[in-house]
Amino acid sequence: MRTIEFTDTTFRDAHQSLLATRMTTDEILGIANVADKIGYHSFEMWGGATFDSCIRYLNEDPWERLRKIRKSAKRTKLQMLLRGQNILGYKNYPDDIVEKFVFLAVKNGIDIIRIFDALNDMRNLRTAIEATLKSGAHAQGAICYTISPVHTLELYIRNVQDLVEMGCQSICIKDMAGLMTPKNAYDLVKAIKNRFDIPVQVHAHFTTGLADMAYYAAIEAGADVVDTAISSLAYGTSQPGIEPIAYSIEEMPDLKTRINFDLLPQVAEYFREVRSNHKDTDANIKGIDIRVLASQVPGGMLSNLMHQLAAQNKMDKYGDVLREIPRVRKDLGYPPLVTPTSQLVGVQAVLNVINGERYKVIPNEVKEYIKGFYGRPPAPIDPDLKEKAIGNERTIDVRPANLLPPVFDEMKRKLGNLAETDEDVLTYALFPTVARNFLSLRYQGKIGVDFSLVEEMEKISSDIPYYPV
């Protein structure tokens, strides 16, 4: 009898995909001790966009969120999503920041780190994998699943081979847009299981309606764990709901789960109420969107794209943007659409449509991508776009982080006594402007003084802010 395990994404990817990552720590803690008794393999509850959202929108310390959930969840492993050398940001960071971040994530309560690179450039994963293993946590290497002329079964197997050789203890197939058909899911899982003695986990979004069928096929092929969300925060651009999948598995003669079905209705009702409190950011995507099979827009990107277009009163351009995204993706060498490449492709597609001319405006981030500073694209970049974007400027072919010197000590110096902990320094290293605002407000609140003129004083005197203790 084989046991199928479940990772619950409700605390991270589900609300990132459906609610623009606005779930608060208190909303999670209100049910965490109940969910902890359900029998999940892990809670995916940190990383991804949650870190940025905590300090940018919620005025919450993401490190404190981790510690509080760790205290509340005694039985279930805590899992995070790490963007390899991008950590939780949108560019490559130096090795010292990656290593320090991983060490402190584990120290504060993380058990499993799912590590991926948006380009499946394995060079960008090595530092994070080695740091995870050294810290004593479980290193799960992820391959970003996508469809293109260059993304073949053989390529994915080579990616897995690299991850295994780097020491990964499990493999995740990360299907950000829900593109995997049942046949492709079966073939990929079976090929991995035939070649490697390693646990395989499958993560998919329900955007196209394929995910639950792909899960069943993957389980038949030997997958060990699947990612699901509680039904009230499932489907749409989120993951499949746990309830029907777990119930169906229990009906199979050779499979079982560890799920406590009696607790699922309570958790589902709780998050139904939570969701009703987030109507202003709820993507409210009903049913499936088969156009995603062409655009390949992942769940989180789709909800945020709709939110941004609505904010600009440009929802009438939604279909045009969806059609433009695969064209931009092809021009950029078929990158999988996952953070940060999804942002690069998405923003460029929106600019192309709104401006009425392709590549009239090219953001600096796209230019940096073309130069190679995000890593090696899966396929060559369109030469005409390359010429228009960067002309004769230098490109690189080395691992981008090789060119980045250590910066932790410099970040600590710049923060001055706003940095109460090394965690604060890392928050600042990832998101300097937003983090400084967040940490300044926290400091002002503690001592009851308004230092709103500090930044102006810095321009005159020093780059090191001084806040009296």
Domain that holds residue 237: 2-276
165 and 20 both lie in a single domain: yes
pLDDT of residue 358 exceeding 60, the answer is yes
Q: What is the pLDDT of residue 464?
A: 43
Is 469 a member of any domain?
no
SS3 content of the chain, % helix, strand, coil (to 5): 55, 10, 35
Neighbours of 7 (CB within 10 A): 28
- Tens digit of pLDDT for each residue in 28-49? 999 999 999 999 999 999 999 9
Is 232 a member of any domain?
yes
Looking at 276, 302, 332, which one is the last position of a domain? 276
Percent of the chain at pLDDT exceeding 70: 94
261 and 390 both lie in a single domain: no
313 and 362 both lie in a single domain: yes
Among 182, 177, 173, CA closest to 201: 173
Is 284 a member of any domain?
no
Is 468 a member of any domain?
no
Is 465 a member of any domain?
no
**pLDDT band, very low/low/confident/very high, at 457 (cuts 50, 70, 90):** low
Mean pLDDT of the 233-251 span: 96
Looking at 363, 378, 401, which one is the last position of a domain? 401
Q: What is the CATH number of the domain that holds 389?
A: 1.10.472.90
Is 283 a member of any domain?
no
343 and 425 both lie in a single domain: no
Q: What is the pLDDT of residue 38?
A: 99
CA triplet 459, 461, 462: central angle to 5 degrees? 80
Is 422 a member of any domain?
yes
Is 57 a member of any domain?
yes
191 and 249 both lie in a single domain: yes
Cα dist from 209 to 12, 64, 103, 181, 295, whole Å: 21, 36, 38, 10, 15
Mean pLDDT of the 433-449 span: 87
Q: What is the pLDDT of residue 449?
A: 63
393 and 414 both lie in a single domain: no
452 and 304 both lie in a single domain: no
**pLDDT band, very low/low/confident/very high, at 284 (cuts 50, 70, 90):** confident
Q: What is the pTM of this model?
A: 0.92
Say how far residue 423 (Cα) sits from the centre of its chain. Answer: 20
Least confident of 161-175, 201-215, 448-462: 448-462
Least confident of 4-8, 200-204, 416-420: 416-420
99 and 18 both lie in a single domain: yes
Total domains in the chain come to 3
Q: Is 387 in contact with 111 (CB distance < 8 Å)?
A: no
245 and 116 both lie in a single domain: yes
pLDDT of residue 454 exceeding 60, the answer is no
321 and 420 both lie in a single domain: no
Q: What is the CATH number of the domain that holds 256?
A: 3.20.20.70
430 and 323 both lie in a single domain: no
**pLDDT band, very low/low/confident/very high, at 459 (cuts 50, 70, 90):** low
Q: Is 249 in contact with 257 (CB distance < 8 Å)?
A: yes
- Tens digit of pLDDT for each residue in 43-79? 999 999 999 999 999 999 999 999 999 999 999 999 9
Q: What is the pLDDT of residue 296?
A: 77
234 and 104 both lie in a single domain: yes
